[in-house]
Every structure is written in structure tokens, then in C-alpha cells.
Structure 1
């Protein structure tokens, strides 16, 4: 291997290509190979393949990164990529990001995601069993399987570069890749996306199509991204209607709000649930999961939803208005818990210990400070919704160290043709 192993390969030097045997899957949509004893994380392949890969990053002492440029011995689970813009036929620098598992048969994608969860649970949480990854059911069928894992995204973010090109970023890059289609998006989102347009302002474009069929396209205005004005849209989940900003957080898979509503309702142990206790919905967004709890246990259920964005909290307050015991608070979760820990009375602490906490943190997870404060408040049960299995496993390990036991966990394939997976875990106090 030539070049400086401490720095990025020089653009002037000829790219270094290696023949590699791919042996496993790693978190983040990449795969594991070794070259002269060093780990190489390789994209656009899968375990069991022998590939020719171009080294792109040698900055780290412990590992390098590379992209597959040719498959020498394919896996039986390889298939033609669902998105030509991301396929191996393109140069690695010109591959659109966002569909890193699109070359893998869908059932095997779920097995690989299971392996990532199992490895993280074993290493970081001391948990020997990991859930299988469930495909999403619709009318008794696995609808995503019938579509090869396409046409599920109801929200897409595109970028416009300084030359007016419109598209997603390339993987691990801020380089815009112009594309002709968006196969992971629903047909309505793809039709609304300004693909191929020219003379657009540099910035971000958000496309959203709601469950009620409303189409929202938020573009940069004359002031750029700072001046973008999102619309208020509505999403329906069962009989419930939720107001939110068109650019605000909402689950992107068209069935995800229903799936997670049911999963959280099932995850709450009703023998431990007290509707009069100090129940919490942390990282609450516009109130989807607080509503799930309220729908299961009745309109007098007491639950406080905590969200850091003020406009989102305003929407949550309106969305939860029919629940008499529902409150909304605008605060960072760590700040709210810190204040709650400092000021809570003996009566509040008793109600907290009887409470149920639902938390749906960002991809980085809840983190050590939040875990420590939650464990100190000692609620009866925690229902943890996670979109990153490694962050979940890390937090589970800390919670187990602080006296909680993992009672159940399910995993859902809410991001087909990507490495992402959603999980819902229930923890209760040990003893």
C-alpha cells in the first residue's frame, strides 16, 4: 500500500485498488474486510464476496475505508441495485447516497441488520438475544417485499449546489448528485421533486406528501435557506390527526406512524402502568407516542411531553388537547430532567417512581447524562424507541448497570434498502 497512511489519499496520485475478501457487516452500511492485518470498511458489497475496492480514506491508524469498483465473486444474495444512480456501474464518487443496501436481496438485508443488532447488544449491553427484524405488514402482506423495498419514503430532502444541480448527496460527502428518479420515495413524492430543474437557488429542498395526499415542496427563497417558510400540514394515524411543520420531524416510512403507535402500546406493561403517575414522553415531537399512550389508557391519563423546538411543542399541545392529563413542555430533555431532579418534591418523586417513560431520542441516542438522570428518578418502566441499534445498545448497557432489566425488544424494517432499522425496547426496574 503506497502513500501516507496518516492522511487522505492524494488526488494527484493514482487511486489504490485492493482485492478483498468481505467477511462481515459493520454498523453504518459498510462491510468488513482485511488487508495485511488492517481492517478495511468497504461499501457496496456484502459478506461472502470477493471484490476490487478503491481505497478512499487512510486517515485512521486502526482502519481504512474503500468503495467497491468491481465484484470478482458475487454473493448469492446480490441483486441488481434498485436505484441506478447508486449502482456499482457508476464511479464511487458519482453514486447517490441513501440506498446503501439496495444491491442486497431484501430478506438478507434484514438478516444483516439483525447481525448488527446482535453484535451491538452482546458487546455493549451484555444481552445475548437480539430481535429478528420484522418486515412491515399491510393488509396481511409484507408490502415492502412486493415492491422490493421501494416506494416507502413520504419525505425526501434534496440539495441544490452552486451550479444549480438538484439531487441527494453522495455517500459521506456534500457533493450533489443529479438524479432522474427517487425509487425509495412514494410516487407522489417523486412527481413533486424538481429533478432536472435548472437555475435554482443554492440550498435545501424538502418534499413531503402527507397521508391525506397534501403535497409540500419547501425551497430556498431569495434569502436562501434562512428564509424558507415551511407549511403546516396534517398527518392521520388511525382516527387521529396531527398538525406539524412540513419540514418538521415525522416518521418517513408511510406505515411507520401506525407501526410505532401499535408497538409502543404493546410495549407498555399495563400491570406497571399508572395513569395517575408522573408519566413522560421525552423527545416527544408533535405528540405521536404520547397520543399512543393516551389512546390505550384513556383521556385522563397524565403524561408530559417534552420537546426542544417551540413550534413543535405548540403543535403537540394542540394535537394532545383532548387528553385532560396531557401537558407539553418546551425544553431540552437533559435540562428538563436536571430541573425535575433538583426541584421534585417527595410526592412528585413517588409519582415518578410509579411512572412510565417513553423516549424517542435522535440517532445519537439518549446519552449518559439522560440515562443517569432517568435511572435516578427510577420510573417503573421505560419504553425506548431507537433508530440506531448501536446507540440503543450503549444506552441499554448503562441502564442495566443502573438497575434496569431488558424485558422485551422488537425491531422493524422501516428503512428498506438502507442500513437503518427501528427498535422498541421495554425496560423495568430489577428486583
Structure 2
């Protein structure tokens, strides 16, 4: 800890950075400032000065407020609290909802320009980040169907403070759906436990998952379809996200390029949500293989995709699975792969160099890339360009209101 930690400074912030932190300068040094909005002048307290090139600081007072500033939607994260006692998980909660989406659009566009070398004319016009149904009317509240809370030494529940492992006890969770909020046992004590997950599936009652509890099977309804999965497994958090992503992926696929008889792939496929979206869009004869490293998720995907004769699910790490596919593919296999559409929904770190290189070697006709991290997406768009792929469409979705996170669905076509 340096001599400047705890020092209060005044500065004007001028843009938002990846990660949702505002950026300003003090005597030529970059300062990343939490709880500020571009255009504001704030007084901030330095929290980290270990790097010579930049400091981190937390807003403690707003001297000149943005027109987009609002009272924070979660009192436990508001400016009247000491920065060390503000909950994480709602870092945009002090910003008007429409402006949150504009800031996310800027971050997405900047990442594609800086990381992928795309100019303004290479991006869709307009590039937008769209709200999900119901969010505007609800002011971005009540959307989380799942929430993980941590347990402090006294057994009280709460999220962690931003960039900290300190648990902040709370008595409300305004981003959660009413069913989840009602199920959270705020008044109880859970001494000796690390985490408590609360979820409200679309079928059945809300439930608690305590610590490393053994998984049980739940069901989620998406449109007219039902999916089975573990209550401890991955599922989209926003109540409307599965329907929105299903539609976005269906729309992102160029039907003039899609071949239902090709060896189409759904990589990082989870329990088969997006593979089902593809098969629903292009009919019962569609061939598609979903690849997922979690064996239990793959088992569920096999059940969820059972009605499509050409659909299957395989367990494997995507990089290793593609490597095996590439090494053993016959000329006939390669022809079916060159005609294929590949949907990929990697974790926050993105697909990365080896996966993008293997996809470049296999040369499918189009890639539909679902991303929750703009910088990882932009890096992989640049890697795909090295193998002849061009970004022909991208759409942002605001699956995480009042946070900096943004989802994007991009289409890349081999030229």
C-alpha cells in the first residue's frame, strides 16, 4: 500500500472503461474511478496506487453531476456508504437505464475498434444494445432468477464488496425477481457455510442450494420448450434471457449460408439451449452436435435435444474436441464442416487462440459467436479475421441491467 492510498482527489472523468469503471486523469496519470459517470467532476478517495501508470479511486462526493445520475437502485451500494462497505454487483445502479445501455454500446464499439481493428464503417449502423422485454418499465429491477450470496463470520447473508472478499450483509436484493427475493432467508444465520444460492426456475417453487449441496434436476420453460438441468448448473440469469438469446441466435444465422445437412456445431453448448434454437429455426432434419465439458450438462442436453434425429451432445473440452476432430477428419468430413454453421457461447474469457485457430483450419461457412465480454469477443474477431472471416453483424443485449456487463451476438462469415 502506497503513501497515496486514502488521499482524496478532485478530477473530471471523461469515458467509461471495460469493467464499468470511469476514467479520468490527475496530473497526467490515469485514474480509474468507481461510481462516477463520464462528464462528472467528483471527489474520489485513492484505493490503490501500486502501479506507476494508473491509480484506482472510489467516488465519495459528486461535485458536478451528470444529467444521467440517479439515486442508486440499491441503498447498500450508494455513495453515502464508505466505499469499502458498498456492495458489488450493481456498479451502474446510479446511472439512468437508457444511458447504461449507451455506455455499454460505447465499450463494445471501442473494443471492436481497438482489439479487432474495425473502423466505424465496419460496424453495424447503428450498433445498439437492446433492452429485454419488461426491463424499461421495471427500471431494470427484478430480473435475476438466480443469485449467489456469501456468508460473513456472523452467519449473515450478502454479496461481496466490489473488488473485495469482504461480505456485506444486506436485507434486500432489488435486482432479483420477486420470487427470489421472497425466498432469501435474510433473517437466518448460516454460520460455517460459504455460499447460499437462491433460484426460482420457471417450473416449480424457488429453492436454496446450500454450499456444495448435491445437485437435483429442475426444469426451465423457454417459449414452448422445456429444458432439464441441474439446479447447480449454468442457466441464463435474466428471466427473459433464454428467449431473447434463442431469437438473437436464430436471427444471426444467415439462412442463405446455412446447410441443415452439414456438420453444424454448438460449442460450449451447456444443456442445449442454442442447439435447440438452431434446430427449431431450420427444422427436424437439422444436424447439429453440442459440445460441453460438463458431463452432467451433456447428459441433460442429450435429453433436451432428443426430438431431433440429427442432434447429439458430446462431452469434451472444446479445444481438445476440435483438435481430435481436426486430426481425424476425412475429406468427406471436411466438406461437411466447410458447409457448417458453428454457434459458440464461450465463458467470459472467450474462445481464445487455439480454438479460433482450429476453427480456422476446419473453415466452417459461418460463426455465430455469443459473448459476455466485449474485449474477449473483439480479440477472437481479430483471430477469426486471420482465417478469412468477416464480421457481418453484431447486436448487443442488455442481459444485466445496473451492471457493466453486456451480451453480444456476432455473425462472422468466411469470405
Normalising by structure 1, we get a TM-score of: 0.93
Q: After superposition, what is the alpha-carbon deviation per residue over 1:25-75, rounded to whole angstroms, capped at 9, x for unaligned?
A: 101010001111111100001011111111111122321111101111111
Q: After superposition, what is the alpha-carbon deviation per residue over 1:104-123, rounded to whole angstroms, capped at 9, x for unaligned?
A: 00111011111101111111
Q: In 2, Cα distance between the equivalents of 1:27 and 1:189?
A: 29
- Is there any run of 5+ residues in structure 1 with no aligned partner, and where? 1-7, 138-142
Alignment of 1:22-101 (within 5 A): 22-101=13-92
Maintained 8 Å contact 1:162/1:202: no
Q: Give the aligned partner of residue 381 of structure 1.
A: 366
Partner of 1:259, secondary structure, is: helix
Range that drifts further, 268-277 or 95-104 = 268-277
By how many angstroms is 1:174 displaced?
1.1
Q: Give the aligned partner of residue 5 of structure 1.
A: none
Range that drifts further, 281-290 or 112-121 = 112-121
Q: Give the aligned partner of residue 203 of structure 2.
A: 212
Range that drifts further, 234-243 or 200-209 = 200-209
Q: Give the aligned partner of residue 405 of structure 1.
A: 390
Q: Give the aligned partner of residue 303 of structure 2.
A: 318
Report whether the alignment pairs 1:237 with 2:222.
Answer: yes
Alignment of 1:176-255 (within 5 A): 176-220=167-211, 225=212, 228-255=213-240
By how many angstroms is 1:193 displaced?
1.1
Q: After superposition, what is the alpha-carbon deviation per residue over 1:104-153, rounded to whole angstroms, capped at 9, x for unaligned?
A: 0011101111110111111111222252111113xxxxx21111110001
Change over 3 Å in CA distance of 1:14–1:117 after alignment to 2: closer
Q: In 2, Cα distance between the equivalents of 1:28 and 1:132?
A: 19
Q: In 1, Cα distance between the equivalents of 2:291 and 2:55?
A: 40
Choose the corresponding residue for 2:321, options 315, 318, 336: 336
Alignment of 1:99-138 (within 5 A): 99-127=90-118, 128=120, 129=123, 131-137=127-133
Alignment of 1:163-174 (within 5 A): 163-174=154-165
Q: In 2, Cα distance between the equivalents of 1:66 and 1:21?
A: 12
Change over 3 Å in CA distance of 1:302–1:50 after alignment to 2: same
- Superposed CA RMSD in Å reads 1.2
Choose the corresponding residue for 2:336, options 341, 351, 354: 351
Q: In 2, Cα distance between the equivalents of 1:248 and 1:121?
A: 31
Q: In 1, Cα distance between the equivalents of 2:176 and 2:215?
A: 20
Report whether the alignment pairs 1:261 with 2:246.
Answer: yes
Q: In 2, Cα distance between the equivalents of 1:248 and 1:86?
A: 28
Q: In 2, Cα distance between the equivalents of 1:114 and 1:103?
A: 18
Alignment of 1:358-373 (within 5 A): 358-373=343-358
